[in-house]
Amino acid sequence: MSLNKEVKRVTTNTLHKMKLNGEKISMLTAYDFSFARIFDDAGIDILLVGDSASNVMAGHETTLPITLDQMIYHAASVVRGARRSLIVVDLPFGSYQGNSKEALHSTIRIMKETGAHSVKLEGGEEVLESVKRIISSGVPVMGHLGLTPQSIYKFGTYAVRAKEESEAEKLKRDARLLEEAGCFAIVLEKIPAILAKEVSESLSIPCIGIGAGKHCDGQVLVMHDMLGINTEFKPRFLRQYLNLHEIITHAVQNYITDVKSRDFPNDLEQY
């Protein structure tokens, strides 16, 4: 990864040290140049080019339709915007589940065509061969356990995962396997806080939570949710920091009023 002299890039090593020092890791999704630049300048540690782009950028109901080409478009835009953050790109549904060769091929396209620093994929034991193959090529991998939205039709619901003993045991085993395979971090999505605490404390790699409670080593949110662009999604775990939907609506309404009333543009706003 290219290291700019003035800005010290966050690396997987930085994250490892942060966990050792008990410093929490901040992560947000980003899908375009402009927001990536704002979040990066604000000091975010990790930018995730999430396949949630399928929902919040493209308006699909699930993350399944987004393609590798579309992820590459978003990721390349984010890379151009970020100078400091570590950039993680989701391998989209269908780009890695088939076999580990395909997973590596998809990863290589992401790395070559976007300039991102790492990839994320969903699942544990089922995708372990792919995880190992990608890591052996030199690309850092972030795991993702708990609620894995690419498997929504298997779960049938977006409810909290791993409340049952057997699923919690499988999650703990998967987390260990991902760590042993060499993942640099794992996202834990929508699982009981007590389980996330146990997993985070048992691993030496950082666990980044979303709806997984305060004991994770870091937190991630989808930017549209935390900025209040997306107003319909209000799960208990979400803290909304802004009501951008309302702010933008007012701005657009004022603009419409000014255009209709001939107030805009005025004499100073023309050539």
Which positions are annotated as active-site residues? 189
Binding test (CB under 6 A) with ligand KIV, winner from 29, 150, 200, 230: 29
Among 51, 174, 217, 225, binds ligand KIV (CB under 6 A): 51
> Could you tell me the CA-to-CA distances from 68 to 94, 109, 185 in Å, in that order?
9, 9, 22
Q: Does 50 bind ligand KIV (CB under 6 A)?
A: yes
Which among 50-58, 123-131, 133-141, 238-246 is the span making contact with ligand KIV, rule CB under 6 A? 50-58
Helix locations, the chain, DSSP H? 12-21, 33-42, 53-56, 68-81, 100-114, 128-136, 152-155, 165-181, 193-202, 223-226, 244-260
Q: Give the footprint of ligand KIV on residues 186-225 (CB under 6 A).
A: 187, 189, 210, 220, 222
Q: Minimum CB separation from ligand KIV for residue 251, in Å?
A: 26
Q: What mask of x and - would describe binding to ligand KIV in positions 77 to 96, judged by CB under 6 A?
A: -------------x------
* Smallest gap from residue 90 Cβ to ligand KIV (A): 5
Task: Give the span between the Cα atoms of 263 and 271, in whole angstroms.
Answer: 16
In terms of Cα–Cα distance, which of 9, 38, 12, 37 is closest to 120? 12
Element holding 243 (H helix, E strand):
none
Contacts with ligand KIV by CB under 6 A lie at 29, 48, 50-52, 90, 187, 189, 210, 220, 222
